[in-house]
Amino acid sequence: MQTLSQIRDLLAQRGVRPKHRFGQNFLHDQNQLRKLVAAADVRQGDLILEVGPGTGTLTETLLEAGADVIACEIDPDMAAIIREHVAPRHAHDESSNRGVPSPHLTLIEADILAGKHAIAPEVVAHLDRPFKLVANLPYQVASPLISSLLVEHSDATAQRAASSPTRDRAFCTGLFITVQREAAERILSGPRTKEYGVLAVLCQTFAEVELISRLSPGCFWPAPKVESAMIAFRPRPSPAIADRRAFAAFLQTLFRSRRKQLGSIFGRDRAWPAGIQPTQRPGELTIGQVGRLFLAGFGETTPIV
């Protein structure tokens, strides 16, 4: 596992600095890194997607745990460090370790996102079996990546795609990530708070979300101006909402008018699910109430507003 001095040296040797435009704040606190890997329960042979590996500190930790890692890095300078410093020491050799395949690192130099709601196809092509996301996420990609994995790469969507050769069948079995505190608060928020909205309902509907740890700016280099948090997402088994795309679209519509009463959004003269009143506002609804509203057909209705 790389120390802070080693991270600095790797960059200094190439005359590069952390780039703000890529959200590069390298997590160097080894205790926190071990917490993240332990929460993800990384085991021999697991397939791990890592986004923004930087100099490879977490990458090396995952490989040492026996995982196969798909590392996606947008910055050519950081990709070069991974290629030159990390990859040669983790070559795939199935004849080693008494017949146990050695960990395998695949480096993809690309933006993880192909548009706002899709993962880059060159990354998806390598996700050939169930996988976990374990990453210190750059802040720009956190929300869209989380949403894409929960909506497009879940067990449910993989099962629906099983009969189609054009759709990816691998699915995400868990997300274990470091994000800025503000993003964590939005994900973990509840009704009647200013943070509560689309991201909270989407995440908590399809996964059990748990705070692993809070991180001070000093855990990173360079130190950001905000605190961060580690969060675990463990997908819920067989959720009632099967059409995740339609539900995500419904949430966007619902919370676009979060200050209006539901009756003003959908019309008052209709059958409302038990426990939900047309005088309520979107931000007052619990996670379960939002789901019942969708399942009652409100997602199929064109809002009045």
| Count of C-beta atoms within a 10 Å radius of residue 122 | 14
pLDDT the model gives residue 49? 98
DSSP 86: I
* 96, pLDDT greater than 90: no
pLDDT value at position 97? 41
Report whether pLDDT(159) > 80.
Answer: no
Confidence of residue 251 (pLDDT cuts 50, 70, 90): very high
Tell me the pLDDT band of 228, cut-offs 50, 70 and 90.
Answer: very high
| 178-209 burial: b if 16+ Cβ within 10 Å, else e | bbbeebbbbbbbebeeebbbbbbbbbbbbbeb
User: In the prediction, which pLDDT does 299 show?
Assistant: 81
The domains of the chain, with CATH numbers, are: 4-239 (3.40.50.150), 245-300 (1.10.8)
pLDDT value at residue 304: 74
Q: Does residue 101 surpass a pLDDT of 60? A: no
Q: What one-letter code names the amino acid at 134?
A: V
Residue 244 class from Cβ within 10 Å (0-12 exposed, 13-18 middle, 19+ buried)? buried
**102 within 8 A of 93, measured Cβ to Cβ:** yes
The 10 Å Cβ neighbour count of residue 34 is 13
Q: In percent, how much of the chain has pLDDT > 70?
A: 90
Mutual orientation of helices 244-256 and 198-206 as an angle, nearest 10°?
150
Question: Which of helix, strand or coil describes residue 199?
Answer: helix
Residues 154, 37, 23, 57: is their CA dihedral positive or negative?
negative
Q: Give the separation between CA 5 and CA 85, rounded to whole angstroms.
A: 15
Question: How far apart are alpha carbons 19 and 2 in whole angstroms?
Answer: 19
pLDDT value of position 156: 66
Report pLDDT for 169: 60
Name every residue whose Cβ is closer than 8 Å to that of residue 170 and which is 6 or more positions away in sequence: 47, 127, 128, 129, 130, 131, 153, 158
Q: pTM score > 0.75 for this model?
A: yes
Average model confidence (pLDDT) across the chain:
90
Number of helices followed by number of strands (H, E) in the chain: 12, 9
- Write the pLDDT tens digit of every residue in 176-194: 999 999 999 999 999 999 9
